[in-house]
Amino acid sequence: MASSTPANSSPVTSTPAATTTATTAAAATTTTTTTTTAKRKPVFVKVDQLKPGTSGHTLTVKVVSSKTVLNKGRSAPSASLNPRPTRIAECVVGDETGVIVFTARNEQIDLMKPDATVILRNAKIDMFKSSMRLAVDKWGRVEVTEPASFQVKEDNNLSLVEYELVNVVEE
């Protein structure tokens, strides 16, 4: 007797296996569960609590002054490498415990107007010429908030304190 289906092809067995695999993959992607973690409440710190080499600070400060130190526009050769202009300003910010120099970059400069009250989230301490500078990088945030009621204590400038790195040898 002659068979009606060719011996080297088996369309019946390959098609269901492929369909089952596709269905299983689709079911696996739709049944993934998303776990949400509870957000941590921010712990607000004061300026006098800042220490060298620390990060993750959230603080409410008033802007005392702002001075642009670098305003680099686009130049023809480097426009393709760095399409955005670079702006850097040094702003003196503080609260009722002291003041510190805040290094504002690009869009942050527009928010740092004198007498404005801002919340700095995920701020870090950078060391520049042996003194502390406060900065907010791309992982942090600068937000303008309603005016605060405190008076800035300008005679306690933490950026004027000079630090020295000391290596301790244990014996």
The answer to whether residue 133 scores a pLDDT higher than 90 is: yes
pLDDT band, residue 157 (cuts 50/70/90) = very high
Token duo for residue 125: 């301490």
pLDDT band, residue 28 (cuts 50/70/90) = very low
* CATH, domain range 51-70+86-161: 2.40.50.140
Output the pLDDT for position 101.
95
Measured CA to CA, the distance from residue 42 to residue 105 in angstroms comes to 23
The answer to whether residue 164 scores a pLDDT higher than 60 is: yes
Tell me which of 6-15, 33-42, 47-56, 74-83 is least confident: 6-15
Output the pLDDT for position 20.
44
pLDDT band, residue 77 (cuts 50/70/90) = low
Average pLDDT over residues 117-139: 93
CB atoms within 10 A of CB 153: 15
pLDDT band, residue 24 (cuts 50/70/90) = very low
Token duo for residue 119: 């919340």
Output the pLDDT for position 80.
57
Domain positions in the chain: 51-70+86-161
Output the pLDDT for position 25.
46
Measured CA to CA, the distance from residue 101 to residue 91 in angstroms comes to 6
* Sign of the Cα pseudo-torsion (74, 102, 53, 161, in order): positive
Average pLDDT over residues 115-142: 93
Average pLDDT over residues 19-27: 45
Measured CA to CA, the distance from residue 55 to residue 45 in angstroms comes to 12
